[in-house]
Structure 1
Amino acid sequence: MFNKILIPTDGSETSLAAALDGVAFAADNNSEVIGIYVAPEYQYPVYIEIIPPTYPLEEEYQELMKKIGIEYLKPIKEAAEKAGLKYSSHFAFSDSAANAIVKVAESQNCELIFMGSHGRSGLGQLILGSVTSKVLSLCKIPVLVDRPRLKNK
């Protein structure tokens, strides 16, 4: 039914639970899984004239975010491989995670985005997380919104 499914994660517990639900859904459909992690863009300290020595350089920041992204995407990759699914991953730097998710979904010809109802922004929001809401409003392909049940919750 769906040949390629994009599964975003922000590394939070709820996002990971939804991502693993997404891999299970992909396995039921024998779909290719594309994991994505979107990191915020590097921010220069605009309040001072020089960059303090303790402030990371842009290259250091990007390298750190890629390492973090690899860790966040690792459980998705392992679950996809265990299910015998084709897997690839993407990293993006953007101050609009929703725009980046939609852009990658379109560029990779995904037929579905499977994402959690809430991520790092938390369960305190009443209806949907802000990134999920924005993806729904921007996207022209189907978006399956998962509300995972967390262990011990």
Structure 2
Amino acid sequence: MYRKILITTDGSAVSQHTACAGVKFAQQMQAEVLALFVAPSYQYPVYVEIVPPAYPSEEEYLAQMRRMGEEYMGSIMRAAEKAGLQHSCMTAFSDTAALKIVDVAEQQGCDLIFMGSHGRSGWGQLLLGSVTNKVLSHTSKPVLVHRLIREPGT
């Protein structure tokens, strides 16, 4: 039914558990897995006239975020490989993670977006916003939302 599934992660324990569930789902479908980590865009310091010496250059920042993304997506890649699935990973940069997820799903020809929900409701959801809700409202692709009943480790 699905040939290519986009699995998102932000490196949190919740998203790692979601990613494992996503790989299991992909295995049932015998679908290819594309893991995605969206890092914030590089921000130039605007509060001073001279860049502080400890402030990372844009190249250093991008390299560090790519390393972090590879670390976050490593468990997804290992699980997909163990399951015998085709797999790849990608680190993207954007200050609007939801829109970037939708764009990547379109550009990469994904049939399904598999992502987690922290399960916030009421004021927490309203005040904090939700990448998952924004993805749902900006894509015409199917989105499978994996919701944990309780936090990992509890």
Normalised to the residue count of structure 2, the TM-score between the two structures is: 0.92
SS of the counterpart of 1:145? Answer: strand
Q: Which ranges in structure 2 are unaligned for 5 or more consecutive residues?
A: none
Q: Match for residue 49 of structure 1?
A: 49
Alignment of 1:4-153 (within 5 A): 4-118=4-118, 125-126=120-121, 130-149=130-149, 150-153=151-154
Cα distance in 2, alignment partners of residues 22 and 113 from structure 1: 9
Structure 2 CA distance for aligned equivalents of residues 91 and 110 of structure 1: 16
> How many matched pairs?
148
1:67 to 1:51, Cα distance in 2 relative to 1, 3 A: same
Superposition CA RMSD, Å: 1.3
Note the C-alpha offset of 1:151: 4.2
Q: Distance in 1 between matches of 2:82 and 2:153?
A: 25
Q: For residues 89-131 of structure 1, what are the alpha-carbon distances to aligned partners after superposition, in whole Å with 9 as ceiling and x for unaligned?
A: 111110011111110100111110000013xxxx6x3166611
Q: TM-score of the superposition, structure 1-length normalised?
A: 0.92
**Cα deviation code 1:65-96 (max 9, x no counterpart):** 00000000000000000000000111111001
Of all paired residues, the percent bearing the same amino acid is: 55
CA offset at residue 152 of structure 1? 3.1
**Are the counterparts in 2 of residues 45 and 51 from structure 1 also a CA contact under 8 Å?**
yes
Matched residue type, 1:63 = A
